[in-house]
């Protein structure tokens, strides 16, 4: 838990500022793994979710979980360690059918529930130490479960990913607000693939999602993997 205190502090401050601003993102019409609506693949990467128990890793204000429940029939647990992010979700969706919001560290949560049939994280994997997250997912997903996530590859300053598992400093910027310091794990595709393989996953898709504006240097990495069967 000690290694997660800094990210928790960051996202608690962020969530409180969004609560103060009254910012409620709408339920999207599709899942966008990058920052740009309509760019790249959508929820089809997760497969058929109807009636399946699905984990939203770092669910934030909850709108993606609600989309998957409403549009795809998924039974989604949205888990976020930040109490203010959790409050945003529960304040907006206090009794959404097919959705449950949980305020907890992801590893602690996965240690006390039955394995999930699918899991996803929208731009959240770069905000948590993968050496904290991946062992928990290895043990918390059922054999054959699909894991899809996106993470920062190249930032707005043009800094590319690292080949080693170490965070770098960055900032979250909200209009008319002081920047919020954040730790970012921006890793190369090979680094992510190696980590996932070492933690019981078989990677079957890696894609770079680029901004539609050519002058925008931001690139998001999208990865799909499958939890290998325990005997594999």
Q: What is the mean pLDDT of the chain?
A: 96
**Residue 84: pLDDT band by 50, 70, 90 thresholds?**
very high
List all residues 6 or more positions away from 195 whose beta carbon is below 8 Å from its beta carbon: 130, 131, 134, 165, 187
DSSP state of 30: S
pLDDT score for 232: 56
DSSP state of 21: H
**Residue 231: pLDDT band by 50, 70, 90 thresholds?**
low
* 4, pLDDT greater than 90: no
Q: How far apart, in whole angstroms, are the C-alpha atoms of residue 212 and residue 218?
A: 10
pLDDT score for 175: 87
Query: Among 147, 154, 156, which residue's Cα sits nearest to residue 223?
Result: 147
List all residues 6 or more positions away from 81 whose beta carbon is below 8 Å from its beta carbon: 4, 7, 8, 11, 103, 104, 105, 106
Does domain 2-23+47-227 fall under CATH 1.10.287.130? My reply is: no
Domain residues of the chain, as ranges? 2-23+47-227
* 61, pLDDT greater than 50: yes
217 neighbors 206 (Cβ within 8 angstroms): no
Coil, strand or helix: which one is 26?
coil
| Alpha-carbon distance values, 179 to 1, 6, 10, 81, 85 (Å) | 25, 15, 10, 21, 18
């Amino acid at each position: 838990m000690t290694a997660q205190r800094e990210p928790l502090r960051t996202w608690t401050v962020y969530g409180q500022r969004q609560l103060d601003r009254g910012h409620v993102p709408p339920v999207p019409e599709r899942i966008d793994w990058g920052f740009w609506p309509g760019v790249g693949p959508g929820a089809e990467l997760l497969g058929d979710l109807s009636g399946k128990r699905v984990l939203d890793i770092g669910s934030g204000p909850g709108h993606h979980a609600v989309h998957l429940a409403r549009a795809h029939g998924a039974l989604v647990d949205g888990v976020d360690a930040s109490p203010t992010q959790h409050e945003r979700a529960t304040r907006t969706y206090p009794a959404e059918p097919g959705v449950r919001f949980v305020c907890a560290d992801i590893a602690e949560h996965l240690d006390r529930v039955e394995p999930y049939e699918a899991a996803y994280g929208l731009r959240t994997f770069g905000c948590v130490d993968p050496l904290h997250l991946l062992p928990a997912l290895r043990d918390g997903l059922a054999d054959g479960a699909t894991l899809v996530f996106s993470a920062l590859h190249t930032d707005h300053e043009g800094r590319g990913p690292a080949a080693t598992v170490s965070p770098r400093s960055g900032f979250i910027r909200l209009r008319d607000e002081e920047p919020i310091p954040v730790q970012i794990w921006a890793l190369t595709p090979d680094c992510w693939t190696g980590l996932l393989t070492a933690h019981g996953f078989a990677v079957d898709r890696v894609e770079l999602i680029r901004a539609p504006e050519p002058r925008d240097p931001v690139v998001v990495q999208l990865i799909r993997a499958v939890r290998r069967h325990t005997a594999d």
